[in-house]
Structure 1
């Protein structure tokens, strides 16, 4: 009986050892990467304590540590990208950088282009504000060169005083093409010239056509500064009835612009001895000097603003500009013997003609003066203050 109990005791000791080995093996697997998620939980090693498991459980800590390091190293090595993968990644990175660089170059070029465009816009606005010559808005040009005859008839004289005076005892003024000449003497800086040009352009457009008529403004430092207007410098006009000869003697800065020839200077000296601006001679039959349209009416208005108000018969601008234009039209009709009839035979023009004074002309046609605007001749008088007698300063 004693022997039997001893045998059972040894068997129990053996079972305890096996359990300890199994626990040691489980602890070892939990420490290793495979134990964490490498080998399946239901694998053969975890189910049956095989001899290899027993051997592993019985190994020393040093051998276990070595096995763990080797397993970890293999895992890290497998997680590193291969050489091909690294090359692909570098190529992709370079492509991304290259693409970004191209977009940056494109964006920079766009910024430069926009800056250049903005600079041109600013410069154009500066030129416009400083009164530099430029192209007249086509709509404005159309408005002033094709005023409805019904509107002109409705305005009549507009309650304005006639700006025309009779020229006495002078030969008929004939232009470069043998037609009655309308001679204009003005300056771009002059605000009174700026106002008169509106009426003169409207009147002349009834006898011919402007194919070019630049815009500008009067001087910024004179009375009625920056009055919106046109300039006859650089203009182009054709007519079957009259020769229009304009001279813009000075620019906005009162610098010499166009020089009169000897005959033109003699005419100015005879009929406009002060040399003041503006001066208009209609074939040596009628002339006007100084203000014809009040530039104060146009103060602060743009070309387009003025053009719009001209078409409204109830405005002071319309009555003033169109009233003076009708007076000038009637004076030119006298010079052309009422041609064209479609313009000069209108009842309101005939009524105005009857109000105009008449004077006898000299009888020597051979002495008729032939003026041209581009010939070289005597320079204008340099005494600006005397010549610009309208000045208030």
Structure 2
């Protein structure tokens, strides 16, 4: 009986030792698992910080072929504007505003623009605005961008941080949001009342109230773009800007012709503000032809 008791006691102790060893092994595994999890979390956090610190991928890199193409916008030949002719659609013709008055910035008439980088219609309209305004002065600081990825992804330029100088006309542009919808500029206090008054009924239909792009000439305005966006949707790689500008240099093609024809409409409107100066621009064949489409 004593031997049996001793044997049972030994068996019990052995079982306890095995159980204790198993518990210790489980605890060690849990500690290792927890340590690994902590390491993974730390690594993920570091990677997240690195990614967050990187700037958003630009639609076209600095000093790229896109920038080289945009630099050519200051030397568009007069023959290209004439080759494009007048716009095919009346949407490109600025709307006459009853009671509208020419805005002044110092001693120069002023043109206003409100848009946003995400907006596909702003994307196409900017090409024409730049082409037209370069006939009266010079831009600096234009940058390449695209409309929102899920809204055409259309290659264009941005007026944010750009400057415009001219002996004939003043130009102010506001890009309210970037291509991701983040606010980057506020509409200035002196422009906002005009925007709210004229980009609303009865000057536009109720569904278009507040629509962009809004280009304001004081006596006339354009809401939307005179350039169709569909041809531009297929331009998905970094050669897009070169393709567009190359066609603008000729005034022909699916991109060049509508952009430059729309630019002729903008030019004709600006000529009404500058007393038809410079004369070589305002008396050019395509501008004279397009001027006949303006409402007096």
Paired residue secondary structure (1:168): coil
Q: What's the offset of the Cα at 1:158?
A: 4.7
Write out aligned runs for 1:203-352 (5 A).
203-222=132-151, 224=152, 226-273=153-200, 274-282=209-217, 284-301=218-235, 302-352=240-290
| Higher strand content, 1 or 2 | 2
| Runs of at least 5 residues in structure 2 that lack an aligned partner in the other structure | 1-49, 201-208
The one of 83, 86, 100 aligned to 1:170: 100
For residues 337 and 128 of structure 1, what CA distance do their matches in structure 2 show?
A: 41
1: CA distance, partners of 2:168 / 2:197: 26
* TM-score (norm. length: structure 2): 0.72
Counterpart of 2:83?
Answer: 154
Aligned to 1:150, what secondary structure does the other structure show? helix
Shift in Å, 1:347: 3.0
Aligned residues: 230
Instruction: Show structure 1 runs of 5+ residues with no match.
Output: 1-118, 359-393
Measured in 1, the distance between the counterparts of 2:215 and 2:244 equals 23
Q: Is the 8 A contact 1:187 1:252 kept in 2?
A: yes
- Structure number with greater Rg is 1
Determine the C-alpha separation between the residues in 2 that align with 1:209 and 1:314.
23
Q: Structure 1 residues 173, 306: closer, same or farther in 2, change over 3 A? A: same
| C-alpha spacing 1:227/1:205, structure 2 compared with 1 (3 Å) | same
Taking structure 1 as the reference length, the TM-score comes to 0.55
Query: How well do the aligned residues superpose, as a CA RMSD in angstroms?
Result: 2.2
Q: Which residue of 1 aligns with 2:73?
A: 144
1:243, 1:149 → 2: CA distance?
22
How far 1:313 moved relative to its partner?
Answer: 4.1
Matched-pair contact (CA < 8 Å) for 1:134–1:216: no
CA spacing shift, 1:344–1:228, aligned 2, 3 Å = same
